[in-house]
Each structure stands twice: as structure tokens, then as C-alpha cells.
């Protein structure tokens, strides 16, 4: 902003005005025009000039300047809800007006009007208050910017305009206020840059201009502010590096620059400012290590916030020398090593958060620091979740501070039982043990945590019953103990948790009836999940009490009976999952009254009757699955029923009409009914004759081919296919236009794949016709059916049905019918002119890993795929990846599923595809989960380099893993697939490059003329490191799929967050 030199607005002298009507003041020039008063005014002027000496006249003139400036300020105020300015009138001297303070000589020295919600603009006439030292107008609603005339206030020491929607830039003229000590304009909507001239304000002690929209760098000139004690610019869009000139801030106490776009390494000189008490660097793009001697160079440190950056290396043990430390926040970086054991020497430590790093080595000593923390009697928050901490929780947790209210060790590698000593932590408010390997029972003493509001223990190996003492937790609002091995019934005492808004006990082995007491908890609002257990009986009528719940999941149980009509009370319900039970009766009409419903799944039950027409009027519905029931009658055609991709009605052969894309038959009319009755006798006769002839023919054919089939083969096939409903050869022939070339979409070693629409299924399908003359094809059929018949996962291709029949020539015909994946295979996307963005590749990587994790660790029997490669990864309409082609899959022996070296499987000769199969398979080693992990690692490498493992460049002992490993971490640009940086218009994509990308700093990288962001580079390095770790030569050194899913999900989420709207952590807390 240009420095505009403005002349002070000086009104005419006091004796030129009528003193009893200040608002109507007129200059002398106007009055002189009234000629009939000219003689009188001349006499009045002479009298006043003789009566008052010249100095007195000047003083009165200056006082009037202040008065006029205040009146102009009042005039610019358009709204005064508290009437604070009503005293500003001629009945009082302006020095007595509210908010005004004057000197003994009646000059205004301060204007303080704080928190009156005044609206209007700041009058430039305030620039005439030449003796003012303090202007404090915070917590109002002034707009229109800061007047440049404020630069005339040469005596100004304090300017506080915080929390006003002023807008505009910081006037450069303010730097003329050379005596200014305290400048606070936070949360004022300021834009533009911090003026370089700010370094001229050599008396400044406080700068607080956070929570604005300031851009550009931190000026190097701040190094001239030797008296500066507080520098707070958090929550802006500042860029560049912290200038080295901060080394001259010898008086600095608080340095707060969190939540900006600053980058680079933090100057070492900043860590040498021994007067520093608060250092907040959170949510920027800082990299590098924390100095090893930070505790010695910053001995007075109280708060250290360095979260959400790219810091690496260990947490320095020298922190323990900063004995005044209260708050340490370093979460969401890449810190490694052990947490220092000496933290217990910090007697004032209140908060310690180092979550989402790489701390620990999965060893027994990783948690020894907990013992030291028992000396921190002030400790309230301990967060070390999402790391690599191993071992077991030490008994010394019993000695942690009774004030501890947040304890998070989630998503680590901690094993063993939950220690007894935790019962001493009676102050716990939030307790997270989720996603570890805890075993044993849930301690009953948890019921003594009277302040507990959140308890998370999902994803462990806990067993036994749910303790009834949890019902004593009167403040509990979130309880998640899903995905364990808990047994028994849900204790009735949970009905006493009147504050509960989320209850999740899914994926356990719970039995008995659904507890009516839980359904009486009207406080449940986020969700109730009782799915994937062994509950029996009917859904209690008390379900209607859940009037505020948004998600209810009772699926995958053994529930019977009808859905109670009281379900219509769910006015807030968005998700209702009741699939895979034995529920019967009609679909309740009350479901149509749930106007907030988005997802409804009643599939795989025994519902009968018609579809309530009112469901088509639920405008919010996005997903409806009523498949595989006994529904009949007309299908509605509006609303969700017009959305073919979101409606699933297969397996209900008595349904009719609906939109044409669903391919249901027409409903019979009354006129046709009489004709049908007349033809019934003829039809029965024809059916009897045809059936008899068909029976004899089929019997003959069966006898003819019986000699060509072994008894074992028949039994195996029946077992594998008994789960599916059979489709006839005629149906498939019709669906594929006689297996025409137009319907052919691919072929493989064991079969040919066609697309088509089968009337019984309604939606487009993929039909895999097996080459029955190849003996391996039959084994492939059995392997695929055995693997897929009892599993269902969003990232696995599902078999819909099958066909085992004779073709027109009387030859054996076998086919499997799958969901059609409209976006084809990953192979087609990686090696064609189409492109996948980085975000899409990350999503696909997580999807495939999730599917394998389910096969390896979450199925009743461990399943290994044995042939993972890009052509076997299919993409649905939303670009969600599904693992397919289980033709080589093997179900491992349950008793040996935990040990890759001792697993047994019934194997055939083929063990995967060259380039993707692990090296140990070539040496006769048994199939294992580790083999799939190797294939997954190669798949990852191919996804992000664009190179097949069979590329000609990989020879002479060099493979794709060695090729990538040699470039980590600094030379990866040379091997990345450039097509992932071409903007994609496909689903689930987000751009990561651009010449003006928001997050690009001075460390941006160039790929073929485009800028690769630092966040993308870090993400790719992390992904490739995982890929290399998965594809190592020794099986025991490969990662587990559960760990792959966890790490890849975190990498993806951090990257997506870095390219989205920035989160808003507290810059004072880090």
C-alpha cells in the first residue's frame, strides 16, 4: 500500500460558531453571507479576542478539534444497540462521554469502546485525535477498513481493533506511529501482505494479527523489532520461510505462526531465543528435525506446538531440561524412535500429544516412558495413538495422574491384557484402546470411571462377556467395542447409560435376544450397531423410542418376525441395515414416513407382499436394497426406483413393471386374467408332457456322462455351488445375444467373459464361460465358488449366480455370473491412453488392501488369492476397486492360519502369474498370506511407476522392487508414472498439480513442466516405501495387510487433507 501523506482535518476556531448547537455548526464564511448580522459578528469577534489571550484561543481550538473528531466518529456509527453513545451530546463535556478519557489539559488520550456491537465505519476524523495514546474498539462490527489517517496519531501506543469485520489491508501509514507498542487487529478480515515497513515500529512489543486472510511472507524487517515480546500471526495464508532475522528478536516470548502455508526448515536461530515461552508452528509445511538441544536453548518454554508438519527424526530427550513445559503437541508428523523416558522430570506437564507419527519399533520397551510420566502429577492428556508402539501397557499406568482425562493409545501394536492398575485413573473422560491386540476380558472396574464420556476398544481380541458395570457410566456418550471376540448377551444395565449417543458392539459373538432396554435409550443419536453377531428373536417394539438415531444396523444376525410399525418414529434416521436375517412379513408402510432416509437394506430376508409405493417419495433415498426376498407385485417407478444404480431388487421373481432398465415383466391385467385361467389346463398338460420328456432326456444324459465324472468331483461341485441359485443356458444365451462378439469383453486362461442382462437379476452382469475341456478350468470354478460363496465385502467381486447345464450340442456348459464392473480392469487404466490421478490411485490401493485384509484376517477361514495382478482388479462405476478372479484362490486350514510357514492348502500346479508370484512359490513353498502380500507390493509399484514387472528393463537379477528401492527417497521423480499428474475428470479424484497450486512452496518439484506439491512428494515416498516393504524377498520381512491398510489409509487421508480446506487446530495449543 502506498504511503499517502494526509493533512489533519482542522475545523475553524471555536469563536466562529454558535456554541449551543454543536451538530449545526457552520463556518464563518457562511455566516458572513448574512449581511444583516455582519456588524454584530464583528463586534463579537473583537470582544472575544480582547477578553482571551492568544494561547487560550489556541487551546480551545485544539479541544474543539478533538470534540469534532468524536462527533464525526459517532456520526459514522449506524447501530448502537446498547445506547453507549447517547451521552455524547452537548449536555456533557466530551471528556465525560462514555469511553473517552482526557488529559488534565482536556485533550483526548484514550477511546475505549469494547464489546458494544457498534456497527458502522471508522471515521477518518479519528486521525485528528493528536494526543490519543490508546484506541481500543475490539468486539464490535465496524467495517470498511482501517483509515490511513490513523497514521497521523504520532502519540498512539495501543491500537486494538480485534474482532471487527473491517476488511482491507493493513495501512502502511500505521508505520508512522513510531511510539506504537501494542498492535492487535486479529479476526478483522484483513487481506494483503504484512507491510515491510513494520520494521520501522521499533517500540512494538505486541503484534497480534492472527485469524485474517493475510498472504505473502513474514517480512524480514521484523528482525528490527528488538523489543517485540509477542508475535502472533496464526490462521492466515502466509507463505515462504521464517526469516533468519528472527535471531534478533532478543525479547520474544511468544512466537505463534500456526495454520499458515509456511515451509522449509525452521531457522536454528529461532531455537536460540532463550526468552521464548510459547512456540507454536502447527499446521504448516515445515520439515527437518527438532534440534537435539532444544531443551537447553529454550529453558523457559511453556508451550511447544509443532503438529501437522513434516518433521522427522526422534523426539529430543533435552526437552526434559525445559522444566516449565506444560504443553507438548507434535502429532501428525513423521517422528520416529522412542518417546523419551525422562519426560517424568517435567513436573508441570499437562498435555502430551505425539499421535500419528512413527514412534516405537514394536518392541517391549516402547512404552517405558509411561512409567516416567507417573511423576507428572498435573498430566491431563496423553496421546500416542497411530504409532508403532509395541509391548504391553505397563502396570505403572496405575501411577499416572488422577487428573488424566484423555488417554489415547489407539492404532498401535500393543498386546497383552488391559492392566489392573488403570482403575486408579478415576478422572478419565476419553479412553481409546482401539485397533491394537489387547486380549483377555474387559475389566469390570471400568464401571467406576464416573467421568468417562468416550470409550473405544474396537478392533482388538477381547473375549468374555461385556461387564454389566458399564451401566454405571452415567456420563458415557460413546461406546465402541466392535470387532472383538466378545460373547454372551448385551447387559441390560446399558439401558442406564442415559447420555449414550453411539453404541457399537458389532462383529462379535454376542447371543440372545436384542435387549429392549437398549432400544429405550432415546439419547442414541449418532448410531446403534448390533450387526454381525448371533442375536435371535424378534426386533422389540421399543425400537420406536430411538426417535433421534441417524444410523441403525442389525444386519447379519438370526432375527425373525416382522419389523415393528413403531419404526416409523425414526424421524432422523438416515441409514437402516437389516439385511441377512430371517425377518418376514411385509415391508412396513411406515418406512415411507422416514423422510431423512438415505440408505435402506432389507436384502436376504423372507419379506413378502408388495413394495410400499410411498418409498418412491422419500426424496433423500440414495440406496435401496430389497433383493432376495419373496416380494411380489408392481415396482414403483419414481424417486429411488428410477435410479437403477442405487436400487437392488434381484431375487424377487414375482415383481413386475418398474422402469424399463430393471427388466421386470409386465404385470398381468384383469382382462388377461380370464384368458389365463382358460389356458391353465392346456398349460398344465404341456408342462407335464415337457417335464416328462425332459426328465427322461436329462436322466439319459446324466447316465451318459456319469462315467466321465468322478464321484469326488461331483461332490466338490455340489458343495461349492449349492450356495447359488442356478441360471439356465437358455437364459445366458438370451442375455448375450447368443454369445455374440458384440457382447464379448475379454478372455483368460480358463474362460471367456461376456456382458449381458439376465432377467432374473435385472442389472448388467459379467458372464464368465469356462473352457470346460481344460481340466484346470473345473478346478478354477471350484476354487472361485468355494472362496466367494460365504464372503461379502465392498472390495471383492461377488458371484451373483451360476450356470451348470448343457449347450445346444449337448456338451457340458459351465459359467459364473458376476457383477459387471463398468470401468473395466486396473490393467486397462494403467496401460492405455486413460489416466488415473494420484488420489484415485491412492483410493484403489486402499481398496485392494482392504479386500486382501478381509480375506486374510477377517474371514472365518483364511483365504489366499494367489493371483493378484492389475487385470484381476476391477473398477465399478464409482471407481471403487474390487478384487476378482479367484480361480487360483485357496482356503487355508483354520488351525494353521496364523503361521505362514506351517499353513496347509490343497494346491494345484499353477501358483500365480510371472512377475507377480513371490519367489518362494518357485521353490515349492506352500501358499501363504505372505505370497499375496508380495503380489500386492508389486501391484503397488506398477500402479505408481507405470511399469510392468515383466518390463524388458528388469533383467540380469534386477526386479521392479530393486529398481524403485534405489530411488528412495530423493530420486523418485525419475521413476514415477507422469500420467497420474494429468488432471482427471473421473470420480473420486482430486488434483495435485498445477502451476498455481495453493500448497506449492519454494520446494515444489517439476515433472514435465508441471509442479508437484510437497504433500504429493511425501505421499508418494511413503507409498513406495510400503510397496518395497511388501515385496521383499524374505516372506517373514513383509508387512501384514492389516498394517498396510492402516498406514495407506493414513497416508491417503493426510494427502487429501493437504489438498482440501485446511483444518483449524488451536494455534495456542498446537
389-421 pLDDT, tens digit each:
999 999 999 999 999 999 999 999 999 999 988
Confidence label for 814 from pLDDT (cuts 50, 70 and 90): confident
Where are any strands of DSSP class E within 911-1070? 1005-1007, 1010-1012
Q: Average pLDDT in the 136-146 region?
A: 96
- Cβ atoms of 355 and 331 closer than 8 Å: yes
- Cβ atoms of 264 and 1030 closer than 8 Å: no
- 716 vs 468 pLDDT, higher one: 468
Binding-site residues for ATP: 768
Confidence label for 885 from pLDDT (cuts 50, 70 and 90): confident
Confidence label for 991 from pLDDT (cuts 50, 70 and 90): very low
pLDDT at 253 over 80: yes
User: What residues contact residue 489 under an 8 Å CB cut-off, 6+ apart?
Assistant: 465, 510, 511, 512, 513, 515
Cell of 988: 473420486
Give the Å distances, CA to CA, from 91 to 70, 85, 88, 95, 541.
15, 13, 8, 12, 73
pLDDT given for residue 1062 in this prediction: 35
pLDDT given for residue 1022 in this prediction: 93
Give, rounded to a whole angstrom, the gap between the first and last alpha carbons of the chain. 33
Q: Average pLDDT in the 270-279 region?
A: 96
Sheet holding 261-265, edge to edge: 239-240, 261-265, 285-289, 310-313, 334-337, 358-359
pLDDT at 677 over 60: no
Confidence label for 964 from pLDDT (cuts 50, 70 and 90): confident
- Cβ atoms of 157 and 178 closer than 8 Å: no
Rounded to the nearest angstrom, the gap between the alpha carbon of residue 631 and the centroid of all alpha carbons in its chain is: 39
User: What residues contact residue 825 under an 8 Å CB cut-off, 6+ apart?
Assistant: 870, 871, 872, 873, 874, 875
Q: Of 1066, 1061, 999, which Cα lies nearest the Cα of 258? A: 1066
- Cβ atoms of 148 and 173 closer than 8 Å: yes
Q: Average pLDDT in the 915-935 region?
A: 86
Q: Average pLDDT in the 726-737 region?
A: 83
What are phi and psi for residue 814, nearest 5 degrees?
-135, 140
Angle (CA) 105-110-116 rounded to 5° is 140
pLDDT given for residue 704 in this prediction: 59
Q: Of 1010, 1009, 951, 941, which Cα lies nearest the Cα of 976? A: 941
pLDDT given for residue 758 in this prediction: 82
pLDDT digits (tens, 9 = 90+) for 168-206: 999 999 999 999 999 999 999 999 999 999 999 999 999
pTM > 0.75: yes or no: no
pLDDT given for residue 757 in this prediction: 84
Binding-site residues: 768
Pairing of strands 575-577, 551-553: parallel
Backbone region of residue 654 per phi and psi (left: phi > 0; alpha: psi in -120 to 50; beta: other values): alpha
Q: Average pLDDT in the 776-803 region?
A: 69
Do 43-215 and 290-439 come out as alike in CATH topology?
yes
Q: Average pLDDT in the 724-753 region?
A: 78
- 894 vs 293 pLDDT, higher one: 293
Architecture of domain 825-1070: Orthogonal Bundle (1.10)
Residue 716 is a catalytic residue? no
pLDDT given for residue 492 in this prediction: 92
Q: Average pLDDT in the 836-862 region?
A: 89
pLDDT at 674 over 70: no
pLDDT at 807 over 90: no
Q: Average pLDDT in the 44-57 region?
A: 40
Q: Which residues pair with 407 in a beta bridge?
A: 382, 431
pLDDT given for residue 188 in this prediction: 96
pLDDT at 1010 over 60: no
pLDDT digits (tens, 9 = 90+) for 603-632: 989 999 999 999 999 999 999 999 889 999
pLDDT at 983 over 90: no
pLDDT given for residue 371 in this prediction: 93
**For the chain, percent of residues with pLDDT exceeding 70:** 81
Alpha helices in 458-589 (DSSP H): 516-519
* Average pLDDT of the chain to the nearest whole number: 83
Pairing of strands 1010-1012, 100-102: unpaired
pLDDT digits (tens, 9 = 90+) for 421-476: 898 999 999 999 999 999 999 999 999 999 999 999 999 999 999 999 999 999 99
pLDDT at 380 over 50: yes
pLDDT given for residue 968 in this prediction: 83
Confidence label for 2 from pLDDT (cuts 50, 70 and 90): very low
- Cβ atoms of 130 and 106 closer than 8 Å: no
Q: Average pLDDT in the 661-683 region?
A: 65
Number of neighbouring beta carbons within 10 Å of residue 308: 27
**For the chain, percent of residues with pLDDT exceeding 90:** 56
Classify domain 712-820 at the CATH superfamily level: Phosphorylase Kinase; domain 1 (3.30.200.20)
Instruction: Write out the CATH class of domain 43-215.
Output: alpha beta
pLDDT at 978 over 60: yes
- 1060 vs 505 pLDDT, higher one: 505
pLDDT at 955 over 50: yes
> How is the chain split into domains, by residue range?
43-215, 290-439, 712-820, 825-1070
pLDDT at 877 over 60: yes
pLDDT digits (tens, 9 = 90+) for 192-244: 999 999 999 999 999 999 999 999 999 999 999 999 999 999 999 999 999 99
Residue of 867, 876, 885, 930 marked active site? 867
pLDDT given for residue 759 in this prediction: 76
Provide the total of helices (H) and of strands (E) in the chain, helices listed first: 16, 57
CATH no., domain 290-439: 3.80.10.10
Amino acid at each position: 500500500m502506498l504511503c499517502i501523506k494526509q493533512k489533519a482535518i482542522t475545523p475553524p476556531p471555536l469563536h466562529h460558531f454558535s456554541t449551543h448547537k454543536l451538530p449545526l455548526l457552520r463556518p464563518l464564511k457562511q455566516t458572513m453571507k448574512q449581511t444583516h448580522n455582519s456588524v454584530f459578528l464583528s463586534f463579537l469577534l473583537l470582544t472575544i479576542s480582547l477578553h482571551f489571550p492568544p494561547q487560550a484561543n489556541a487551546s480551545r481550538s485544539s479541544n474543539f478539534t478533538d470534540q469534532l473528531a468524536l462527533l464525526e466518529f459517532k456520526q459514522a456509527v449506524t447501530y448502537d444497540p446498547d445506547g453507549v453513545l447517547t451521552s455524547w451530546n452537548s449536555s456533557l463535556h466530551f471528556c465525560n462521554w462514555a469511553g473517552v478519557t482526557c488529559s488534565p489539559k482536556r485533550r483526548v488520550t484514550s477511546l475505549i469502546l469494547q464489546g458494544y456491537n457498534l456497527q458502522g465505519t471508522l471515521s477518518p476524523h479519528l486521525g485528528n485525535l493528536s494526543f490519543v495514546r490508546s484506541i481500543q474498539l475490539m468486539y464490535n462490527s465496524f467495517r470498511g477498513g482501517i483509515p490511513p489517517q490513523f497514521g497521523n496519531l504520532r502519540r498512539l501506543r495501543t491500537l486494538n481493533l480485534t474482532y471487527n469485520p473491517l476488511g482491507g489491508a493493513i495501512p502502511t501509514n500505521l508505520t508512522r506511529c513510531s511510539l506504537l507498542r501494542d498492535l492487535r487487529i486479529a479476526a478483522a478480515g484483513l487481506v494483503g501482505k504484512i507491510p515491510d515497513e513494520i520494521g520501522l515500529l521499533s517500540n512494538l512489543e505486541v503484534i497480534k494479527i492472527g485469524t485474517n486472510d493475510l498472504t505473502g511472507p513474514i517480512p524480514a524487517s521484523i528482525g528490527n523489532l528488538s523489543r517485540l515480546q509477542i508475535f502472533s500471526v496464526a490462521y492466515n495464508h502466509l507463505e515462504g520461510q521464517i526469516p533468519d532475522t528472527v535471531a534478533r528478536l532478543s525479547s520474544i516470548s511468544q512466537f505463534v505462526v500456526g495454520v499458515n502455508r509456511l515451509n522449509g526448515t525452521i531457522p536454528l536461530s529461532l531455537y536460540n531465543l532463550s526468552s521464548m515461552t510459547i512456540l507454536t508452528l502447527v499446521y504448516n509445511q515445515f520439515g527437518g528435525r527438532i534440534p537435539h538441544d532444544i531443551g537447553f536453548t529454550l529453558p523457559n518454554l511453556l508451550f511447544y506446538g509443532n503438529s501437522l508438519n513434516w518433521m522427522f527424526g526422534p523426539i529430543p530427550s533435552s526437552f526434559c531440561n525445559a522444566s516449565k513445559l506444560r504443553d507438548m503437541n507434535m502429532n501428525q508428523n513423521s517422528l520416529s524412535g522412542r518417546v523419551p523416558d525422562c519426560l517424568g522430570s517435567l513436573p508441570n506437564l499437562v498435555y502430551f500429544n505425539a499421535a500419528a507419527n512413527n514412534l516405537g519399533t514394536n518392541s517391549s520397551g516402547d512404552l517405558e516412558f509411561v512409567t516416567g510420566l507417573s511423576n507428572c502429577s498435573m498430566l491431563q492428556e496423553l496421546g500416542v495413538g497411530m504409532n508403532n508402539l509395541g509391548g504391553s501397557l505397563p502396570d505403572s499406568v496405575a501411577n499416572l495422574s488422577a487428573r488424566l482425562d484423555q488417554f489415547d493409545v489407539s492404532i498401535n501394536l500393543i498386546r497383552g491384557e488391559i492392566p489392573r492398575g488403570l482403575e486408579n485413573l478415576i478422572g478419565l473422560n476419553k479412553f481409546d484402546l482401539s485397533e491394537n491386540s489387547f486380549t483377555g476380558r474387559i475389566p469390570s472396574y471400568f464401571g467406576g470411571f464416573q467421568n468417562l464420556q468416550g470409550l473405544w476398544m474396537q478392533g482388538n481380541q477381547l473375549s468374555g462377556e461385556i461387564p454389566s458395570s458399564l451401566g454405571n457410566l452415567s456420563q458415557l456418550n460413546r461406546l465402541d467395542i466392535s470387532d472383538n471376540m466378545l460373547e454372551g448377551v448385551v447387559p441390560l444395565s446399558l439401558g442406564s447409560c442415559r447420555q449414550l449417543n453411539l453404541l457399537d458392539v458389532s462383529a462379535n459373538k454376542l447371543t440372545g435376544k436384542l435387549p429392549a432396554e437398549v432400544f429405550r435409550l432415546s439419547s442414541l443419536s449418532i448410531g446403534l450397531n448390533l450387526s454381525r453377531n448371533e442375536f435371535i428373536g424378534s426386533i422389540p417394539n421399543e425400537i420406536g423410542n430411538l426417535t433421534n438415531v441417524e444410523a441403525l444396523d442389525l444386519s447379519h444376525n438370526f432375527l425373525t418376525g416382522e419389523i415393528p410399525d413403531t419404526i416409523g418414529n425414526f424421524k432422523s434416521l438416515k441409514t437402516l441395515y437389516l439385511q441377512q436375517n430371517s425377518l418376514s412379513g411385509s415391508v412396513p408402510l411406515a418406512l415411507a414416513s422416514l423422510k431423512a432416509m438415505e440408505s435402506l437394506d432389507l436384502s436376504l430376508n423372507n419379506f413378502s407382499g408388495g413394495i410400499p409405493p410411498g418409498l418412491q417419495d422419500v426424496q433423500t433415498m440414495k440406496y435401496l436394497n430389497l433383493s432376495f426376498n419373496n416380494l411380489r407385485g408392481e415396482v414403483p417407478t419414481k424417486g429411488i426406483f428410477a435410479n437403477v444404480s442405487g436400487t437392488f431388487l434381484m431375487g424377487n421373481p414375482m415383481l413386475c413393471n418398474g422402469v424399463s432398465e430393471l427388466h421386470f415383466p409386465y404385470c398381468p391385467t384383469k382382462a388377461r386374467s380370464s384368458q389365463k385361467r382358460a389356458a391353465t389346463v392346456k398349460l398344465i398338460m404341456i408342462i407335464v408332457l415337457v417335464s416328462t420328456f425332459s426328465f427322461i432326456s436329462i436322466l439319459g444324459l446324466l447316465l451318459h456322462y456319469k462315467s466321465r465324472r468322478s464321484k469326488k468331483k461331483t461332490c466338490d461341485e455340489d458343495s461349492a455351488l449349492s450356495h447359488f441359485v442356478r441360471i439356465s443356458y437358455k437364459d445366458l444365451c438370451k442375455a448375450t445375444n447368443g454369445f455374440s462378439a458384440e457382447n464379448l469383453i475379454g478372455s483368460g486362461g480358463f474362460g471367456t467373459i461376456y456382458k449381458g442382462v439376465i432377467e432374473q437379476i435385472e442389472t448388467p452382469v459379467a458372464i464368465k464361460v469356462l473352457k470346460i475341456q481344460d481340466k484346470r478350468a473345473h478346478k478354477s470354478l471350484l476354487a472361485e465358488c468355494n472362496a466367494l460363496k460365504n464372503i461379502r465385502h465392498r472390495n471383492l467381486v461377488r458371484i451373483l449366480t451360476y450356470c451348470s447345464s448343457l449347450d445346444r450340442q449337448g456338451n457340458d456348459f459351465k459359467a459364473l455370473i458376476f457383477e459387471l464392473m463398468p470401468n473395466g480392469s486396473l490393467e486397462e487404466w494403467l496401460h492405455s491412453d486413460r489416466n488415473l490421478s494420484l488420489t484415485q490411485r491412492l483410493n484403489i490401493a486402499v481398496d485392494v488392501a482392504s479386500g486382501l485384509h478381509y480375506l486374510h484376517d477377517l474371514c472365518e477361514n483364511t483365504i489366499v488369492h494367489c493371483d493378484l495382478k492389475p487385470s484381476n482388479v476391477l473398477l465399478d462405476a464409482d471407481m471403487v476397486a474390487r478384487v476378482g478372479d479367484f480361480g487360483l484362490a485357496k482356503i487355508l486350514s483354520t488351525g494353521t492360519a496364523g503361521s505362514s510357514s506351517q499353513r496347509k492348502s490343497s494346491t494345484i500346479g499353477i501358483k500365480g502369474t510371472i512377475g507377480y508370484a513371490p519367489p518362494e512359490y518357485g521353490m515349492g513353498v506352500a501358499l501363504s498370506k505372505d505370497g499375496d502380500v508380495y503380489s500386492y507390493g508389486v501391484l503397488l509399484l506398477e500402479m505408481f511407476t507405470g511399469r510392468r514387472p515383466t518390463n524388458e528393463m528388469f533383467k540380469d537379477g534386477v526386479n521392479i522392487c530393486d529398481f524403485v528401492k534405489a530411488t528412495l527417497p530423493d530420486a523418485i521423480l525419475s521413476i514415477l508414472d507422469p500420467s497420474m499428474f494429468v488432471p482427471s475428470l473421473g470420480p473420486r479424484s482430486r488434483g495435485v498439480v498445477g502451476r498455481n497450486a495453493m500448497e506449492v512452496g519454494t520446494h515444489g518439484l517439476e515433472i514435465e513442466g508441471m509442479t508437484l506439491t510437497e504433500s504429493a512428494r511425501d505421499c508418494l515416498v511413503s507409498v513406495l516405501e510400503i510397496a518395497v516393504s511388501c515385496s521383499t524377498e524374505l516372506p517373514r520381512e513383509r508387512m501384514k495387510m492389516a498394517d498396510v491398510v492402516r498406514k495407506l489409509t493414513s497416508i491417503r487421508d493426510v494427502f487429501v487433507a493437504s489438498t482440501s480446506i485446511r483444518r483449524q487446530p488451536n494455534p495456542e495449543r498446537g
